[in-house]
Structure 1
Amino acid sequence: MFNVLIIEDEPAIAETLIYAFHEMGMQATHKSLGGDALIELNHHAYDFVLLDVGLPDMSGFDVCKKIRETSQIPLLFLTARNHEIDRIIGLEIGADDYVTKPFSPREVVTRVKTILRRTENRADLAKPEKNSTHFVVDALANRIQYHDRFLELTRYEFLLLKTLIHQPQRVFSRDQLMDIVWVNAENTLERTVDAHIKTLRAKLREVNAESDVIVTHRGMGYSLLN
Protein backbone atom coordinates (compact mmCIF):
# COMPACT_ATOMS: atom_id res chain seq x y z
CA MET A 1 0.00 0.00 0.00
CA PHE A 2 1.36 3.40 -0.97
CA ASN A 3 1.73 5.96 1.80
CA VAL A 4 1.21 9.65 0.94
CA LEU A 5 2.12 12.66 3.09
CA ILE A 6 -0.23 15.63 2.56
CA ILE A 7 1.25 18.99 3.60
CA GLU A 8 -1.73 21.35 3.49
CA ASP A 9 -2.91 24.05 5.92
CA GLU A 10 -6.60 23.86 4.95
CA PRO A 11 -8.16 20.95 6.90
CA ALA A 12 -11.16 20.62 4.57
CA ILE A 13 -8.92 20.11 1.53
CA ALA A 14 -6.72 17.66 3.41
CA GLU A 15 -9.72 15.62 4.62
CA THR A 16 -11.14 15.43 1.09
CA LEU A 17 -7.79 14.21 -0.26
CA ILE A 18 -7.36 11.68 2.53
CA TYR A 19 -10.80 10.24 1.74
CA ALA A 20 -10.00 10.08 -1.99
CA PHE A 21 -6.73 8.26 -1.35
CA HIS A 22 -8.41 5.79 1.02
CA GLU A 23 -11.03 5.09 -1.64
CA MET A 24 -8.20 4.13 -4.02
CA GLY A 25 -6.53 1.87 -1.45
CA MET A 26 -3.77 4.29 -0.47
CA GLN A 27 -2.75 5.50 2.99
CA ALA A 28 -2.56 9.27 3.61
CA THR A 29 -1.21 11.31 6.52
CA HIS A 30 -1.80 15.04 7.00
CA LYS A 31 0.50 17.76 8.34
CA SER A 32 -0.48 21.44 8.24
CA LEU A 33 3.00 22.95 8.80
CA GLY A 34 6.12 22.60 6.69
CA GLY A 35 8.38 22.18 9.72
CA ASP A 36 6.26 19.38 11.15
CA ALA A 37 6.17 17.68 7.75
CA LEU A 38 9.98 17.71 7.47
CA ILE A 39 10.25 16.10 10.91
CA GLU A 40 7.67 13.51 9.86
CA LEU A 41 9.64 12.67 6.72
CA ASN A 42 12.79 12.20 8.77
CA HIS A 43 11.12 9.66 11.02
CA HIS A 44 8.73 7.77 8.74
CA ALA A 45 8.86 6.35 5.22
CA TYR A 46 6.52 7.76 2.58
CA ASP A 47 6.07 7.05 -1.12
CA PHE A 48 4.75 10.45 -2.18
CA VAL A 49 4.42 14.06 -0.98
CA LEU A 50 1.54 16.43 -1.77
CA LEU A 51 2.79 19.90 -0.89
CA ASP A 52 0.84 23.18 -0.65
CA VAL A 53 2.86 26.20 -1.77
CA GLY A 54 1.27 28.60 0.74
CA LEU A 55 1.96 27.24 4.22
CA PRO A 56 1.69 29.29 7.46
CA ASP A 57 5.22 28.70 8.74
CA MET A 58 7.32 28.51 5.55
CA SER A 59 7.03 28.48 1.78
CA GLY A 60 6.23 25.18 0.12
CA PHE A 61 9.11 25.92 -2.23
CA ASP A 62 11.48 25.99 0.76
CA VAL A 63 10.01 22.73 2.05
CA CYS A 64 10.62 21.16 -1.36
CA LYS A 65 14.23 22.36 -1.40
CA LYS A 66 14.79 20.85 2.06
CA ILE A 67 13.29 17.54 0.96
CA ARG A 68 15.43 17.46 -2.17
CA GLU A 69 18.62 17.84 -0.11
CA THR A 70 18.23 14.24 1.05
CA SER A 71 15.45 12.58 -0.94
CA GLN A 72 14.10 12.10 -4.46
CA ILE A 73 10.62 11.13 -3.24
CA PRO A 74 7.96 12.00 -5.87
CA LEU A 75 6.32 15.34 -5.09
CA LEU A 76 3.31 17.26 -6.41
CA PHE A 77 2.60 20.91 -5.60
CA LEU A 78 -0.86 22.20 -4.64
CA THR A 79 -1.39 25.94 -5.02
CA ALA A 80 -4.09 28.60 -5.13
CA ARG A 81 -1.93 30.61 -7.52
CA ASN A 82 -2.10 30.10 -11.25
CA HIS A 83 1.00 32.01 -12.28
CA GLU A 84 3.32 30.44 -14.83
CA ILE A 85 6.41 31.55 -12.91
CA ASP A 86 5.24 29.61 -9.84
CA ARG A 87 4.82 26.45 -11.90
CA ILE A 88 8.24 26.92 -13.45
CA ILE A 89 9.90 27.45 -10.06
CA GLY A 90 8.15 24.42 -8.60
CA LEU A 91 9.27 22.15 -11.40
CA GLU A 92 12.80 23.54 -11.47
CA ILE A 93 13.38 22.85 -7.77
CA GLY A 94 12.31 19.25 -8.08
CA ALA A 95 8.52 18.86 -8.21
CA ASP A 96 7.09 16.14 -10.45
CA ASP A 97 3.78 17.91 -11.11
CA TYR A 98 1.69 20.94 -10.21
CA VAL A 99 -2.09 21.25 -9.53
CA THR A 100 -3.96 24.53 -9.16
CA LYS A 101 -6.84 24.95 -6.72
CA PRO A 102 -9.72 24.30 -6.94
CA PHE A 103 -9.10 20.77 -8.16
CA SER A 104 -10.80 17.41 -8.34
CA PRO A 105 -9.50 15.08 -5.60
CA ARG A 106 -9.88 12.15 -8.00
CA GLU A 107 -7.72 13.95 -10.56
CA VAL A 108 -5.04 14.52 -7.93
CA VAL A 109 -5.11 10.85 -6.93
CA THR A 110 -4.89 9.83 -10.59
CA ARG A 111 -1.89 12.09 -11.14
CA VAL A 112 -0.21 10.67 -8.05
CA LYS A 113 -0.74 7.10 -9.25
CA THR A 114 0.62 7.98 -12.69
CA ILE A 115 3.77 9.54 -11.22
CA LEU A 116 4.26 6.55 -8.91
CA ARG A 117 4.03 4.15 -11.86
CA ARG A 118 6.54 6.24 -13.80
CA THR A 119 8.86 6.32 -10.79
CA GLU A 120 8.62 2.56 -10.35
CA ASN A 121 9.46 2.05 -14.02
CA ARG A 122 12.53 4.26 -13.67
CA ALA A 123 13.59 2.31 -10.59
CA ASP A 124 13.23 -0.98 -12.48
CA LEU A 125 15.39 0.35 -15.29
CA ALA A 126 18.02 1.46 -12.80
CA LYS A 127 18.28 -1.94 -11.15
CA PRO A 128 21.49 -3.72 -12.10
CA GLU A 129 20.91 -6.72 -14.38
CA LYS A 130 22.03 -10.00 -12.88
CA ASN A 131 23.41 -12.83 -14.95
CA SER A 132 23.85 -16.48 -14.01
CA THR A 133 27.56 -16.28 -14.88
CA HIS A 134 28.33 -14.07 -11.86
CA PHE A 135 28.03 -10.82 -13.83
CA VAL A 136 26.03 -7.78 -12.70
CA VAL A 137 25.54 -5.03 -15.28
CA ASP A 138 24.83 -1.51 -14.03
CA ALA A 139 23.77 0.12 -17.32
CA LEU A 140 23.22 3.58 -15.81
CA ALA A 141 26.70 3.75 -14.31
CA ASN A 142 28.33 1.86 -17.20
CA ARG A 143 29.89 -0.66 -14.81
CA ILE A 144 30.06 -4.43 -14.67
CA GLN A 145 30.65 -6.56 -11.60
CA TYR A 146 32.16 -10.01 -11.81
CA HIS A 147 32.12 -12.18 -8.68
CA ASP A 148 31.16 -9.06 -6.68
CA ARG A 149 34.11 -7.02 -7.95
CA PHE A 150 33.87 -4.10 -10.35
CA LEU A 151 35.93 -4.58 -13.50
CA GLU A 152 38.14 -1.76 -14.73
CA LEU A 153 37.03 -1.61 -18.34
CA THR A 154 37.60 0.71 -21.25
CA ARG A 155 34.55 1.98 -23.15
CA TYR A 156 34.79 -0.68 -25.85
CA GLU A 157 35.56 -3.46 -23.37
CA PHE A 158 32.43 -2.51 -21.44
CA LEU A 159 30.24 -2.44 -24.56
CA LEU A 160 31.69 -5.71 -25.84
CA LEU A 161 31.23 -7.58 -22.57
CA LYS A 162 27.73 -6.14 -22.05
CA THR A 163 26.74 -7.35 -25.52
CA LEU A 164 27.87 -10.88 -24.72
CA ILE A 165 26.21 -10.85 -21.28
CA HIS A 166 22.83 -9.74 -22.61
CA GLN A 167 22.60 -12.77 -24.91
CA PRO A 168 24.56 -15.61 -23.34
CA GLN A 169 25.26 -18.64 -25.53
CA ARG A 170 24.57 -16.65 -28.69
CA VAL A 171 27.51 -16.78 -31.07
CA PHE A 172 28.36 -13.29 -32.32
CA SER A 173 30.47 -13.03 -35.45
CA ARG A 174 33.24 -10.47 -35.54
CA ASP A 175 31.25 -8.42 -38.06
CA GLN A 176 28.22 -8.39 -35.75
CA LEU A 177 30.31 -7.27 -32.79
CA MET A 178 31.92 -4.57 -34.91
CA ASP A 179 28.49 -3.27 -35.94
CA ILE A 180 27.17 -3.28 -32.35
CA VAL A 181 30.20 -2.11 -30.37
CA TRP A 182 32.32 -0.09 -32.78
CA VAL A 183 29.46 1.76 -34.48
CA ASN A 184 30.71 4.97 -36.15
CA ALA A 185 34.30 4.06 -35.26
CA GLU A 186 36.29 4.61 -38.45
CA ASN A 187 39.38 2.68 -39.54
CA THR A 188 38.68 -0.18 -37.14
CA LEU A 189 39.74 -3.67 -38.18
CA GLU A 190 38.20 -7.04 -37.32
CA ARG A 191 41.26 -8.03 -35.33
CA THR A 192 40.30 -5.24 -32.88
CA VAL A 193 37.58 -7.60 -31.63
CA ASP A 194 40.15 -10.34 -30.99
CA ALA A 195 42.41 -7.91 -29.13
CA HIS A 196 39.59 -6.73 -26.87
CA ILE A 197 38.47 -10.30 -26.18
CA LYS A 198 42.03 -11.08 -25.11
CA THR A 199 42.17 -8.15 -22.66
CA LEU A 200 38.71 -8.99 -21.32
CA ARG A 201 39.76 -12.57 -20.62
CA ALA A 202 42.83 -11.31 -18.79
CA LYS A 203 40.78 -8.95 -16.61
CA LEU A 204 38.26 -11.67 -15.80
CA ARG A 205 41.06 -14.01 -14.76
CA GLU A 206 42.45 -11.34 -12.44
CA VAL A 207 39.18 -11.69 -10.53
CA ASN A 208 38.80 -15.45 -10.96
CA ALA A 209 41.85 -17.35 -12.13
CA GLU A 210 39.69 -20.21 -13.43
CA SER A 211 37.46 -17.91 -15.49
CA ASP A 212 36.79 -19.23 -18.96
CA VAL A 213 33.35 -17.81 -19.70
CA ILE A 214 34.15 -16.25 -23.09
CA VAL A 215 34.18 -19.01 -25.69
CA THR A 216 35.89 -18.85 -29.09
CA HIS A 217 34.04 -20.52 -31.96
CA ARG A 218 36.63 -20.98 -34.67
CA GLY A 219 35.59 -19.43 -37.94
CA MET A 220 32.37 -18.15 -36.35
CA GLY A 221 32.97 -15.72 -33.49
CA TYR A 222 32.50 -15.52 -29.73
CA SER A 223 29.87 -16.30 -27.12
CA LEU A 224 29.45 -16.19 -23.35
CA LEU A 225 28.76 -19.30 -21.33
CA ASN A 226 25.49 -19.26 -19.39
Structure 2
Amino acid sequence: MSKLTRRQLWSLEEYAEQRDAFRHQVMQHKRLRQLTLGDHVRLLFEDEVTIRYQVQEMLRIERIFEGPAIQEELDAYNPLIPDGTNLKATMMLEYPDVAERHRRLAQLAGIEHRVWLQVGEEWCCYAIADEDLERSDQHKTSSVHFLRFELAPEAILELKQGAPMMIGIDHPKMDTGPLAVPGPIREALAEDLAIPYAS
Protein backbone atom coordinates (compact mmCIF):
# COMPACT_ATOMS: atom_id res chain seq x y z
CA MET A 1 0.00 0.00 0.00
CA SER A 2 1.46 3.36 -1.02
CA LYS A 3 2.26 6.08 1.47
CA LEU A 4 0.54 9.46 1.49
CA THR A 5 2.14 12.46 -0.20
CA ARG A 6 1.34 16.16 0.05
CA ARG A 7 -0.13 15.96 -3.45
CA GLN A 8 -2.91 13.68 -2.17
CA LEU A 9 -4.01 16.08 0.57
CA TRP A 10 -6.54 18.88 0.33
CA SER A 11 -5.60 22.40 1.35
CA LEU A 12 -7.32 23.68 4.50
CA GLU A 13 -9.87 25.52 2.36
CA GLU A 14 -10.54 22.49 0.15
CA TYR A 15 -10.85 20.23 3.18
CA ALA A 16 -13.39 22.58 4.77
CA GLU A 17 -15.55 22.07 1.67
CA GLN A 18 -14.99 18.29 1.46
CA ARG A 19 -14.95 17.43 5.16
CA ASP A 20 -18.57 16.41 5.77
CA ALA A 21 -18.73 14.10 2.76
CA PHE A 22 -15.26 12.67 3.41
CA ARG A 23 -15.99 12.11 7.10
CA HIS A 24 -19.16 10.18 6.20
CA GLN A 25 -17.16 8.07 3.74
CA VAL A 26 -14.48 7.35 6.34
CA MET A 27 -16.99 6.39 9.05
CA GLN A 28 -18.56 3.87 6.66
CA HIS A 29 -15.09 2.60 5.71
CA LYS A 30 -14.09 2.12 9.36
CA ARG A 31 -17.10 -0.12 10.03
CA LEU A 32 -15.30 -2.87 8.08
CA ARG A 33 -12.00 -2.28 9.86
CA GLN A 34 -12.93 -2.32 13.58
CA LEU A 35 -13.06 -5.15 16.08
CA THR A 36 -13.95 -5.20 19.76
CA LEU A 37 -12.08 -7.63 22.01
CA GLY A 38 -13.82 -8.19 25.32
CA ASP A 39 -15.54 -5.19 26.85
CA HIS A 40 -12.72 -2.65 26.81
CA VAL A 41 -10.43 -3.14 23.79
CA ARG A 42 -11.10 -1.77 20.32
CA LEU A 43 -8.85 -2.35 17.32
CA LEU A 44 -9.00 -0.10 14.27
CA PHE A 45 -7.06 -1.53 11.36
CA GLU A 46 -5.51 1.41 9.57
CA ASP A 47 -5.06 1.96 5.85
CA GLU A 48 -4.50 4.86 3.46
CA VAL A 49 -8.08 6.14 3.89
CA THR A 50 -8.11 6.14 7.71
CA ILE A 51 -4.66 7.74 7.90
CA ARG A 52 -5.48 10.35 5.29
CA TYR A 53 -8.49 11.34 7.41
CA GLN A 54 -6.30 11.48 10.52
CA VAL A 55 -3.74 13.71 8.78
CA GLN A 56 -6.37 16.03 7.32
CA GLU A 57 -7.98 16.39 10.75
CA MET A 58 -4.63 17.19 12.38
CA LEU A 59 -3.84 19.81 9.74
CA ARG A 60 -7.28 21.33 10.28
CA ILE A 61 -7.11 21.35 14.08
CA GLU A 62 -3.56 22.73 14.20
CA ARG A 63 -4.14 25.10 11.24
CA ILE A 64 -1.05 23.69 9.50
CA PHE A 65 -0.51 24.92 5.96
CA GLU A 66 3.26 25.25 5.50
CA GLY A 67 5.05 22.56 3.49
CA PRO A 68 7.64 21.40 6.06
CA ALA A 69 5.04 21.15 8.83
CA ILE A 70 2.68 19.17 6.57
CA GLN A 71 5.56 16.81 5.76
CA GLU A 72 6.21 16.33 9.48
CA GLU A 73 2.63 15.12 9.92
CA LEU A 74 2.99 12.78 6.93
CA ASP A 75 6.25 11.41 8.34
CA ALA A 76 4.55 10.77 11.69
CA TYR A 77 1.47 9.01 10.26
CA ASN A 78 2.74 7.22 7.15
CA PRO A 79 4.34 4.39 9.18
CA LEU A 80 0.81 3.41 10.28
CA ILE A 81 -0.19 2.47 6.71
CA PRO A 82 0.27 -1.25 5.98
CA ASP A 83 3.21 -2.22 3.74
CA GLY A 84 1.70 -5.20 1.92
CA THR A 85 3.19 -7.84 4.24
CA ASN A 86 1.46 -6.68 7.41
CA LEU A 87 -1.70 -5.40 9.03
CA LYS A 88 -1.48 -2.29 11.21
CA ALA A 89 -3.92 -1.37 13.92
CA THR A 90 -4.54 1.27 16.54
CA MET A 91 -5.50 -0.43 19.79
CA MET A 92 -7.60 1.57 22.26
CA LEU A 93 -8.17 0.53 25.87
CA GLU A 94 -11.50 2.12 26.71
CA TYR A 95 -12.49 2.73 30.34
CA PRO A 96 -14.84 5.71 30.70
CA ASP A 97 -14.33 5.95 34.47
CA VAL A 98 -11.03 7.73 35.16
CA ALA A 99 -10.23 5.88 38.40
CA GLU A 100 -10.90 2.50 36.80
CA ARG A 101 -8.81 3.46 33.77
CA HIS A 102 -5.78 4.34 35.93
CA ARG A 103 -6.14 1.11 37.90
CA ARG A 104 -6.50 -1.09 34.82
CA LEU A 105 -3.67 0.56 32.86
CA ALA A 106 -1.40 -0.20 35.82
CA GLN A 107 -2.45 -3.87 35.64
CA LEU A 108 -2.14 -4.21 31.86
CA ALA A 109 1.53 -3.33 31.31
CA GLY A 110 2.79 -5.17 28.23
CA ILE A 111 -0.66 -5.88 26.79
CA GLU A 112 0.44 -4.47 23.42
CA HIS A 113 2.73 -7.51 23.03
CA ARG A 114 0.03 -10.05 23.91
CA VAL A 115 -2.40 -9.41 21.06
CA TRP A 116 -2.29 -12.34 18.65
CA LEU A 117 -3.63 -13.06 15.20
CA GLN A 118 -4.14 -16.46 13.59
CA VAL A 119 -4.78 -17.30 9.93
CA GLY A 120 -6.13 -20.74 9.07
CA GLU A 121 -5.48 -23.67 11.36
CA GLU A 122 -1.82 -23.16 12.18
CA TRP A 123 -0.22 -19.82 11.31
CA CYS A 124 -0.13 -17.38 14.25
CA CYS A 125 1.79 -14.24 15.26
CA TYR A 126 1.86 -11.71 18.07
CA ALA A 127 1.61 -7.96 17.56
CA ILE A 128 4.78 -5.91 17.23
CA ALA A 129 4.58 -2.48 18.80
CA ASP A 130 7.68 -0.86 17.31
CA GLU A 131 5.70 2.15 16.02
CA ASP A 132 4.49 2.68 19.58
CA LEU A 133 6.99 5.37 20.68
CA GLU A 134 7.61 4.03 24.20
CA ARG A 135 4.01 4.32 25.37
CA SER A 136 4.42 1.80 28.18
CA ASP A 137 6.83 0.95 30.94
CA GLN A 138 7.00 -1.88 33.49
CA HIS A 139 4.51 -0.11 35.77
CA LYS A 140 1.69 0.86 33.40
CA THR A 141 0.52 0.88 29.81
CA SER A 142 -1.01 3.56 27.63
CA SER A 143 -4.64 3.66 26.57
CA VAL A 144 -3.57 3.83 22.89
CA HIS A 145 -1.09 1.59 21.07
CA PHE A 146 0.02 1.20 17.46
CA LEU A 147 0.40 -2.45 16.48
CA ARG A 148 1.82 -4.28 13.49
CA PHE A 149 1.05 -7.89 12.58
CA GLU A 150 3.73 -9.20 10.22
CA LEU A 151 2.34 -12.03 8.07
CA ALA A 152 4.31 -14.82 6.42
CA PRO A 153 3.77 -15.29 2.66
CA GLU A 154 1.83 -18.51 3.22
CA ALA A 155 -0.50 -16.77 5.67
CA ILE A 156 -1.14 -13.97 3.16
CA LEU A 157 -2.02 -16.51 0.47
CA GLU A 158 -4.32 -18.41 2.83
CA LEU A 159 -6.09 -15.23 3.91
CA LYS A 160 -6.60 -14.10 0.32
CA GLN A 161 -7.99 -17.55 -0.49
CA GLY A 162 -10.61 -17.20 2.26
CA ALA A 163 -8.97 -18.88 5.25
CA PRO A 164 -10.54 -17.94 8.60
CA MET A 165 -8.86 -15.38 10.84
CA MET A 166 -8.91 -15.36 14.62
CA ILE A 167 -7.68 -12.67 17.00
CA GLY A 168 -7.34 -12.42 20.76
CA ILE A 169 -5.39 -11.23 23.80
CA ASP A 170 -3.67 -13.55 26.27
CA HIS A 171 -2.42 -11.08 28.87
CA PRO A 172 -2.57 -12.45 32.47
CA LYS A 173 -4.94 -9.64 33.45
CA MET A 174 -7.01 -9.77 30.26
CA ASP A 175 -7.60 -12.96 28.33
CA THR A 176 -10.25 -12.27 25.72
CA GLY A 177 -10.15 -15.72 24.19
CA PRO A 178 -10.28 -16.11 20.42
CA LEU A 179 -12.59 -13.96 18.31
CA ALA A 180 -13.44 -15.14 14.80
CA VAL A 181 -13.00 -12.13 12.51
CA PRO A 182 -16.28 -11.67 10.59
CA GLY A 183 -16.07 -12.39 6.85
CA PRO A 184 -16.58 -8.81 5.58
CA ILE A 185 -13.84 -7.48 7.91
CA ARG A 186 -11.50 -10.36 7.03
CA GLU A 187 -12.01 -9.62 3.32
CA ALA A 188 -11.34 -5.90 3.82
CA LEU A 189 -8.11 -6.65 5.70
CA ALA A 190 -6.99 -9.13 3.04
CA GLU A 191 -7.07 -6.21 0.60
CA ASP A 192 -4.26 -4.57 2.61
CA LEU A 193 -1.92 -7.42 1.70
CA ALA A 194 0.04 -8.01 -1.48
CA ILE A 195 0.15 -11.48 -3.02
CA PRO A 196 3.72 -12.67 -2.41
CA TYR A 197 5.94 -13.47 -5.36
CA ALA A 198 7.03 -17.07 -5.75
CA SER A 199 10.73 -17.43 -4.92
The structure, 1 or 2, with the larger RCO (C-alpha pairs under 8 Å, 6+ apart) is 2
Q: Calculate the TM-score normalised by the size of structure 1.
A: 0.27
Q: Calculate the TM-score normalised by the size of structure 2.
A: 0.29
